[in-house]
Amino acid sequence: MLGTDDLLACFVAGNAMNWDGEYLKETEERHDEVNSCMDVILNFGGFMYIGTIIPWKEFNQPDITGLTYGRLIGLGVLVLLFRRIPAILAMYKFLPKVCKDYKEALFMGYFGPIGIGAVFYVEHTRHLFPEPGLGDIEENNLTRVMIPVVYWLVLFSIVVHGLSIPALNAIYNFYGVQPITEDAVEIRRKSMRVPTPVNASVADSEVFIAYNRFSRPVFDQADLPTANGKGGYSYPDNEKTRVQRRYSRAV
């Protein structure tokens, strides 16, 4: 309405909606899947569109723009190293709720993908300059080179950050790093018709038992604790359920 930047308006609206974390907390309590589904659909659609319009032929034009694959790879590495990591390492002590130590700051600084926002800005910028060949030499050189450079950085980010996840997973498995787990907690059901969350199992008609933030553990339902009608739970007497009994500390 004010004629300001579209992407900035979306960013401000999102921050205002979840400024104190209450919106996110409410969606988690209600097991809301609408936002996550819309996010996946829009992301898939956006990146499929980016894949169709990437200017592949303009990535290697040493005689026209001076761009070569070697220069673009070097630029991608430098952007990856200096775009976020130094700033977050320098400021993480002022963000105790976000980064606890320098390792988390390094992790957060590294995983800063370049994506749809960059494409939006470069396409918007292109419309602010004259068409190729209609401006002066400096404008023509800028419009010729900025499109392939930005699209290359998006592609480089998708490949590097995308492959970083399985690479880290392989490294953690090789060194035997155990995944972070959380004690199970009770979640009161808001309705009998509420589906069981992916990270929980049914305890009784009023309660789910949530095991962690991502997924429920894989074991037989017969090994789960059952409500005994006295306000507590009964456990099968086997080795597997002895390990699972730690959830009672949180209950």
pTM exceeding the 0.95 threshold for the entire prediction: no
Kindly report, residue by residue over 89-125, the tens digit of the pLDDT.
999 999 888 888 898 899 899 998 898 889 988 988 8
Amino acid 106: pLDDT: 92
Residue 21, phi then psi, degrees to nearest 5: 85, -5
Closest CA to 72 of 160, 197, 3, 182: 160
Question: Is the pLDDT reported for residue 247 higher than 50?
Answer: no
- Hey, is 67 helix, strand or coil? strand
* Distance from C-alpha of 184 to C-alpha of 229, rounded to nearest angstrom: 20
Average pLDDT over residues 140-160: 92
Angle CA 105–110–111, to nearest 5: 105
Closest CA to 76 of 3, 157, 189, 1: 157
Question: Is the pLDDT reported for residue 29 higher than 60?
Answer: yes
pLDDT higher at 215 or 82: 82
Question: Is the pLDDT reported for residue 225 higher than 70?
Answer: no
* Distance from C-alpha of 208 to C-alpha of 199, rounded to nearest angstrom: 10
Question: Is the pLDDT reported for residue 204 higher than 50?
Answer: yes
Amino acid 142: pLDDT: 87
Residues with Cβ < 8 Å from 146, sequence gap 6 or more?
A: 122, 125, 126
Average pLDDT over residues 163-177: 89
Structure tokens at 81: 């190293």
Residues with Cβ < 8 Å from 101, sequence gap 6 or more?
A: 92
pLDDT higher at 184 or 54: 54
* Distance from C-alpha of 94 to C-alpha of 109, rounded to nearest angstrom: 15
Q: How confident is the model at residue 251 (pLDDT cuts 50, 70, 90)?
A: very low
From the CB of residue 8, how many other CB atoms can be counted at a distance below 10 Å? Answer: 9
Amino acid 54: pLDDT: 92
* Distance from C-alpha of 177 to C-alpha of 1, rounded to nearest angstrom: 51
Structure tokens at 8: 């900035």
